[in-house]
Amino acid sequence: MELTDTHCHLFLPEFDADRETVVDQALNAGVTRMFLPNVDSTTSARLLETANRWPDNCFPMMGLHPTSVNGEFENELAMVENHLNKGTFYAVGEIGLDLYWDKTWFEQQKEAFKIQLEWAHTHQLPVVIHVRNSFPETISLVQKSALAGLRGIFHCFTGSVNDAKMITDLGFILGIGGVSTFKNGGLDRVLPSIDPSFLVLETDSPYLAPVPYRGKRNEPQYITLIAQQVARIYGTTAERIAELTTNNAKQLFGV
């Protein structure tokens, strides 16, 4: 069974003590592709180091995370742009809007998001979008950007059937993670109305570990648990879900 973790922050300090083991365990579990979204200028060197250590399995993205947007965001964006021009990246991410932690820089978040959507379009890369307490604002910015051919993932999707339809109508797909295993996560009621051809799997490691590891450090090998849960929801096998979602990821990221 070949699985893909479309969203894991393997380069963060949470993995410094045992990164080799974590990747080995992922590979042994069949998680042969791991996509790494950047956070900001403090993480990009470690992101590239991790991707260079496992060039066949770890694929870097470049972007500025919305919770790292502040008064300095223009300097941060210059760094992102420089990386995109120089290096090889598989997506622009993670980018988006976050109204959960802090609303102070919301105008700057919107500006940074718009600029990065345009860069993705210029570089012909998909985008990986972070949404927290900001779905209407985020979807409306993507709609308004009207960038022909722009594709990507709404990462850690936890919305309604209607939200999902708005996303897939735009040609975007949904990243399904550990929340699918949570008792009140709600995805068991939403997913049956969504064609699995619009899904990819993700862990968001080290965050949002699936049951029975909820609250602990998340790891890419737990994609197997998410595949099993999604399979249960659709009444099919984990093998089928692994194959489908890996194909969807291959199509989007081109690798």
The residue (of 91 and 231) whose beta carbon lies closer to Zn ion is: 91
What are the strands, taking DSSP E only, across the chain? 3-5, 31-36, 58-60, 92-98, 127-132, 152-154, 173-176, 199-201
**Using CA atoms, how far apart are residues 173 and 222, in angstroms rounded to an integer?**
21
Pseudo-torsion of CA 197, 190, 184, 245, nearest 10°?
Answer: 0
Provide the minimum distance between the beta carbon of 94 and Zn ion in the complex, in angstroms, as a whole number: 5
Q: 161-170 b/e with 16+ CB inside 10 Å = b? A: eebbebbbeb
DSSP label at residue 105: T
Q: Which residues bind Zn ion (CB under 5 A)?
A: 204
Provide the minimum distance between the beta carbon of 237 and Zn ion in the complex, in angstroms, as a whole number: 28
The residue (of 204 and 219) whose beta carbon lies closer to Zn ion is: 204
Provide the minimum distance between the beta carbon of 174 and Zn ion in the complex, in angstroms, as a whole number: 15
Provide the minimum distance between the beta carbon of 236 and Zn ion in the complex, in angstroms, as a whole number: 27
Provide the minimum distance between the beta carbon of 239 and Zn ion in the complex, in angstroms, as a whole number: 27
What is the three-class DSSP state of 93? strand
32 phi and psi, to 5 degrees?
-90, -15
The residue (of 91 and 233) whose beta carbon lies closer to Zn ion is: 91
The residue (of 61 and 199) whose beta carbon lies closer to Zn ion is: 61
The residue (of 37 and 196) whose beta carbon lies closer to Zn ion is: 37
